[in-house]
Structure 1
Amino acid sequence: MLTRHIFSQLVREIESQAVAAQQQIGLVRAQIASKQREVRLAQLTRSEISSLPPDTPVYEGVGKMFVGLPAPELQNKLGASVKDIETEVEGLNKRLHYLETTAKNSQEHIEKMLKGGQA
C-alpha cells in the first residue's frame, strides 16, 4: 500500500515537472519570436537609414521623445542592438533545447513507471 502511494506521488511529481517545462517552452518560444521581430525591425530601419544621404536628419525614440542623431551613429547603435538581440536569441534557443529535453525525459520516465507499475 505504501509503495503504491510513493509510486503515485513520484508520477505526480514528474508529471508536474513536465507540465512546468511545457509552460516554460511556450514562454521561451514567445520570447524568441519577440526578439526575432525586434531584429527584423532594427535591420529594416538600418537598411532604410543607409539608403538616405549621410547628412539627412534622423531621430531616435527615447521614451516619449525623439533625439536627433547623425545617421551613421544611429546605424551603429542599431547594429549593436542587432548583435545583442541575436546573442539573447541564442541563449533562449539553448534554454528551449534544455526545456524540450526535460519535458521529453519526464514523459519517458512517466511511461516507464506506468509500464513497470502495471507489470
Structure 2
Amino acid sequence: MSIPPETLQKLLQEIEQKAAFSQQQISIVKSQIAAKNRESRILQLTTSEVDALPDSTNVYEGVGKMFVLSPRKDVKKRLGAENEELKSDISALEKKLHYLETTYKNSQDGIQRLLRPGGS
C-alpha cells in the first residue's frame, strides 16, 4: 500500500510547516522565560533591600513620574504578590515550552518516517 507522491509531498509540507512554527514558538517562549527570570531576580534583590530596612521606615515607590510614600509592610506585601505571579507565569511558560518541544520532536519524527525508504 503506497501513498501517492502528491499526497506524500503535501503531508511532508504540512509537517515541515508545523515543525518550523514550533521551533519559532520555542525561541519566543525561551526569551519570555529569560525575561521573567530577570524580573524575578530584580524583585528578589529589591525585597532583600527592603528587608534590610528598620520596620518603622517608610519607602518611596515610583508611580509614573512621581514617588509616593508607602509603608515598608505594604511594599513587602506587593513585592511578594508580584513574585508569586512571576513564579506562576514562569511555570505556565515552562509547560508551554515542554509542549512545543514535544510537538517539534514529533514533527521531526514524522518527517523521518516519511522520508525513510518504504514510507513507514
SS in 2 for 1:52: coil
Distance 2:15 2:66 in 1: 50
Task: Tell whether 2:113 aligns with 1:112.
Answer: yes
Q: 4+ residue stretches of structure 1 with deviation over 4 A?
A: 116-119
Aligned to 1:30: 31
Q: How does 1:11-90 map to 2 (within 5 A)?
A: 11-90=12-91
CA contact (8 A) 2:59 2:72 kept: yes
Residue identity opposite 2:98 in structure 1: H
1:41-70 Cα distance to aligned partner (Å, 9 max, x none): 111101101101122231222223222110
CA deviation digits over 1:76-97, x for unaligned, max 9? 1001100010001000000000
Structure 1 range deviating more: 64-73 or 84-93 = 64-73
Give the percent of matched residue pairs that are identical in Structure 1 and Structure 2. 47
Q: Which runs of 5+ in 2 are unaligned?
A: none
The alpha-carbon deviation at position 118 of structure 1 amounts to 6.2
Q: Which residue of 2 aligns with 1:98?
A: 99
Unpaired segments ≥5 residues, structure 1: none
Normalised by the size of structure 2, how large is the TM-score? 0.91
Structure 2 CA distance for aligned equivalents of residues 17 and 64 of structure 1? 45
Normalising by structure 1, we get a TM-score of: 0.92
Answer 1 or 2: which has greater helix percent.
1
Q: In the comparison of the two structures, how many residue pairs are matched?
A: 118
